[in-house]
């Protein structure tokens, strides 16, 4: 495999000023605990389209995504690949106690990571309950998301899949609750990548996005940005009811 590009270190940002402070692994930390994290962290950036980590490589550091979007992919022996997840701001890469990663991680846009040397982070987790508790919460959230994705792939229609994907982008940016507002959002994946992620064809993705546009649910500014014109209509198109189940 081609080696990952040289990593650029950025000027460190204090934890208390971090844009993902209230959602990341450090969300529940006290000021003293943040001080301990400050000692072992560094910022690293990866240009769009470049690998961040390869499956099976030694896990030198764990990290939180500060900005940008990355994909998680897994390859079969015959070369076929499947995108199995997206990493968005505040998502965590790596697991304490594990020395390798199970997926390839690739930057879709320019990605900035807040990195912690793995061994130092593992030692910190042992005596910092707020970090270990938050890691457990993140793991349980990922389990819930995986179960939701099983429902999406197995039971939802093409329209519901596309609407759910867009709805997820809104929720992950903490923009729910802005009823009546026009939401200007980034579309992190190409239509081909969305098709791979959702188990659809490229033509189906393009057709469903065009229908949502024609119905004035969304409006495209360019190929990488779109506006949500009718948030309620978009949520109704997901097939989920207000309690998180499916509408019968």
Banded model confidence at residue 146, pLDDT cuts 50, 70, 90: confident
- pTM attached to this predicted model: 0.81
> Per CATH, the architecture of 156-237 is what?
Orthogonal Bundle (1.10)
> CB of 88 within 8 A of CB of 138?
no
Banded model confidence at residue 7, pLDDT cuts 50, 70, 90: very low
Helix, strand, or coil here: 116?
Answer: strand
CATH superfamily of 8-149: Jelly Rolls (2.60.120.10)
Please compute the mean of the pLDDT values over residues 151-170 and round it to a whole number. Answer: 90
Banded model confidence at residue 182, pLDDT cuts 50, 70, 90: low
Task: Provide the CA 196 distance to its chain's centre, in angstroms.
Answer: 16
Banded model confidence at residue 21, pLDDT cuts 50, 70, 90: confident
pLDDT at 75: 85
Helix, strand, or coil here: 188?
Answer: coil
Q: Which residue has the higher pLDDT, 183 or 100?
A: 100
Residue 115's CB: how many other CB atoms inside 10 A? Answer: 22
- For residue 194, CA distances in Å to 179, 218, 248 come to 26, 16, 26
pLDDT single digits (tens) 59-106: 999 999 999 999 999 888 888 888 888 999 999 999 888 899 889 999
Q: Which residues contact 202 (CB under 8 A, 6 or more apart)?
A: 191, 192, 195
Q: Which residues contact 36 (CB under 8 A, 6 or more apart)?
A: 124, 128
Percent of the chain with pLDDT over 70: 88
């Amino acid at each position: 495999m081609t080696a990952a590009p040289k990593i650029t270190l950025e000027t460190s940002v204090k934890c208390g000023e971090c844009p993902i402070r209230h959602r990341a692994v450090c969300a529940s930390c006290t000021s003293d605990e943040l001080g301990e994290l400050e000692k072992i962290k560094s910022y690293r950036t990866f240009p769009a389209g470049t690998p961040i980590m390869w499956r099976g490589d030694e896990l030198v550091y764990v990290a939180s995504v500060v900005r940008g979007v990355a994909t998680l992919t897994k390859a079969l022996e015959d070369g076929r690949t499947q995108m199995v997840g997206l990493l968005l701001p505040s998502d965590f890469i790596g697991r304490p106690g594990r020395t390798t990663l199970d997926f390839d991680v690739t930057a879709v846009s320019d990605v900035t990571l807040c990195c912690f040397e793995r061994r130092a982070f593992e030692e910190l987790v042992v005596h910092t309950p707020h970090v270990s508790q938050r890691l457990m919460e993140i793991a349980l959230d990922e389990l819930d998301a995986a179960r939701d994705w099983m429902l999406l792939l197995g039971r939802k229609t093409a329209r519901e899949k596309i609407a759910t994907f867009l709805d997820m982008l809104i929720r992950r940016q903490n923009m729910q609750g802005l009823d009546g507002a026009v939401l200007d959002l980034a579309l992190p994946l190409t239509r081909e990548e969305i098709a791979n992620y959702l188990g659809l064809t490229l033509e189906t993705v393009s057709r469903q996005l065009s229908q949502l546009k024609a119905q004035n649910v969304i409006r495209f500014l360019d190929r990488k940005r779109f506006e949500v014109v009718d948030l309620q209509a978009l949520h109704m198109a997901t097939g989920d009811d207000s309690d998180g189940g499916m509408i019968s």
